[in-house]
Structure 1
Amino acid sequence: MYDEFVALLRKACSKRKLRLRKIGTVHNKRDYHLYKIVINSRKNPKASVCFSAGIHGEEIAGPYAALRFIEKFDFRKFKNIKIIILPIANPYGFDRTMRETTKGLQSNGHFCNKRLNGEHKILYNAIKDERLLFFHALHEDSDEHRFYIYNFENGEEKIYNDILAVARKYFPLEMHKRIYGSKAEHGLIINEHDSSFEDRMYRDGVPYSMCTETPGIAPLEKRIRAYVEIMGLVLGFAAKVGKK
């Protein structure tokens, strides 16, 4: 599954004249490469945005949305925005349809550890110096019919509700007051410090950081289309806000 996906990714990048850059390699019985794609690589962009997909290997809509985005999206609309894509953040887990990394770790935890190793270190080092405006981790909840967001903010930010409005076109929203034991407000779980990638980005000072959860029970094509539209909304927001 991993090899087939990388072949599709390589083909899409070649067609769009983008560089598929290897940022590191992990090993478990074989080598697995992690990749980074940079679109509109400018020294002084108006803003920089990072999309990370596939940190949980069984959550495939994120990687395939990243692929669709590279294949179809009109980047010219956002030529002043540096777009960074980590399309397959846990290649070992993706290949085996599992959450864990090559070391058997929970793949979206441990990012706030003092010392990072393996996939966590590779991913963090790939973006730590990018001066991001917005970090977006594309996740799924395989047991859910509804969409929700883990977001980080110092004060109420309209963009997260705008994203919920887009998601509502595709799925119902998760409106319970608690989601997996965490306090939720109208589909938002706010400032849940769980040592995730998005948590680390927020702690590092990224102004807007979130993890979106599409419902894994929904059809894959619908999840992909929703994610591509949400990615476009994030870029439109970044173009308006610029550096914060």
Structure 2
Amino acid sequence: MSNNSFIAKFLRFIGILLMALTGGFTLLGGIGTSCAAFNPTGFGESMAPLAPFQWLYILFVLTGIAIGVWGIWATVKLVKGASDSYRMSLQALVTGVVIGFIHIYTSRALRGKSMPVDAVVYMTVLTLAVFLLFRIPGIWQGVNFEKGNRNSNRMAGGTAAILLGLMTLTIQYTMGPTHTWSGVNYADAFNTGMTLTGIGLLLLGTGIFVSVRNVRVTAGRRQVQARGV
């Protein structure tokens, strides 16, 4: 498989997109866990059983944020085609799966349910499975992020930024069903920060698209000029 074939570009696009969404989802999940970690008795009987293990849930918050940032940084490296981008992605994903399943097991043991961390972990498992499939020799020959087309990688990065922006702007609605107690949606928090972050990501993604388009237009003009000469 050629590095610049349609299939190779498509697979890299999917890989970058999944990695970015997983990193963003993990980061938001870590931030979201803070409500239960820092005030487990403030949500009625649902979260009260976590109180004796508050220290553990504070660790889940910190590790969730750290792994999320790790995943996003790995995504940036994938887009740039850095030599250690794939290895860093695997490390972040494996760590996320391990910590995530510990989180799931602990929550189910203490309170009988573990949503929404389940969704974060399942997303991480999916992304990890895809990245492991990439290492199949025939596939890796084309997918190898280090040898990929930078412009197509940047398109994936732009798409990821836009999707992360939309996810950030709508998280209070999508996570509402699992974060509502006594009629109060506790996912509807950090509104100013989330709005600014979401808008910033949308602008970043749009800027990347415009930049890639300009590069392609400039390259096309140079080719025309070269042929004219």
TM over 0.5: no
Give the TM-score of the pair, scaled to structure 2. 0.28
Higher helix share: 2
Higher strand share: 1
Which structure has the larger Rg?
2
